[in-house]
Amino acid sequence: MRLRRRDLPIVPEGIPYILLPAVIGLILGLWWSIYLFLPFLLLTLFGLSFFRNPPRHIPDGEGLVISPADGRIVGVEKGAEIPILGGQATRVSIFMSLFNVHVNRVPLGGTVEEVRYQRGRFLPAKRGEASQQNEQNALLLRSTEGLKLVFVQVAGIVARRIVCYVRKGDQVQRGEVFGAVLFGSRLDIYLPTGVEVTVREGERVKGGMNILGVIK
């Protein structure tokens, strides 16, 4: 089977950020001084860490909604307005720091019914108003169980690029990589009535591994 870019150990969009300091550091180290090479080596190692796409063991079981991102839960808000779908749901917000894995994973298997990109501001991703005002990319998913849920990639004060690999009509599997947000950012997932939320604010989660909710 042909290897897809979402299956690579490094996010492809991050490769220029890794190669550039590596090449500059190598040139400086060979032509001038090893001490000039060291800062660029550190930048290269940081790039490799930041843009990594490690394999994850996806939990088995029916009705499990898994975390779409690595990071810390910065909000669990009941009665939040749902982008795209309309109505209300419980919004679980995950903040991804510069040191987290930044690939995003599908929380539940199903069909992507809509992908909607929205331009906006670049407020700090920890702030609640970032969910409405920041640049973002929202995906509406109809799960194999017939449940509709929305998850939103939200840019932050540093993040300036949102990457999404899926399109309307795509069939996706739980835990599959669907995109990334480059540099510090957040991901909001809206869990409708019928999903019991199993996480609390302040918890740390890993994309594709931790369970956010269970379909009742």
Asked whether residue 203 is assigned to any structural domain, the reply reads: yes
> What percent of the chain has pLDDT above 90?
44
Query: Residue 201 gets which letter from DSSP?
Result: T
Contact 149, 190 (CB under 8 A): yes
Asked whether residue 114 is assigned to any structural domain, the reply reads: yes
Tens digit of each residue's pLDDT (9 = 90 or more) over 173-198: 999 999 998 776 889 999 988 899 99
Indicate the number of domains in the chain: 2
Return the CATH number at 178: 2.70.70
Do 111 and 136 lie in one domain? The reply is yes
Q: Which residue has the higher pLDDT, 127 or 83?
A: 83
Do 44 and 85 lie in one domain? The reply is no
The residue segments making up the domain with residue 203 are 64-215
Tens digit of each residue's pLDDT (9 = 90 or more) over 149-175: 999 998 866 656 788 999 999 999 999
pLDDT at 158: 60
pLDDT at 38: 86
Q: Is the pLDDT of residue 1 over 50?
A: no
Mean pLDDT score of the chain, rounded to an integer? 85
Do 111 and 203 lie in one domain? The reply is yes
User: Which is the catalytic residue, given 67, 93, 143, 185?
Assistant: 185
Tens digit of each residue's pLDDT (9 = 90 or more) over 37-61: 888 889 899 888 888 899 999 998 8
Asked whether residue 55 is assigned to any structural domain, the reply reads: no
Residue carrying the six token digits 């996010």: 11
pLDDT at 74: 92
Asked whether residue 39 is assigned to any structural domain, the reply reads: yes
Asked whether residue 15 is assigned to any structural domain, the reply reads: yes
Tens digit of each residue's pLDDT (9 = 90 or more) over 86-99: 778 999 999 988 88
The SS3 call for residue 63 is: coil
Do 92 and 20 lie in one domain? The reply is no
Spatial distance between the Cα atoms of 20 and 171, rounded to a whole number of angstroms: 36
pLDDT at 64: 94
Indicate the pLDDT class of residue 10, thresholds 50, 70 and 90. confident
- Judge whether 185 counts as a catalytic residue: yes
Coarse DSSP helix, strand, coil percentages of the chain, rounded to the nearest 5 percent: 20, 40, 40
Do 141 and 201 lie in one domain? The reply is yes
Do 168 and 206 lie in one domain? The reply is yes
Do 178 and 156 lie in one domain? The reply is yes
Do 102 and 180 lie in one domain? The reply is yes
Nearest residue to 85 via CA among 185, 169, 152, 164: 152
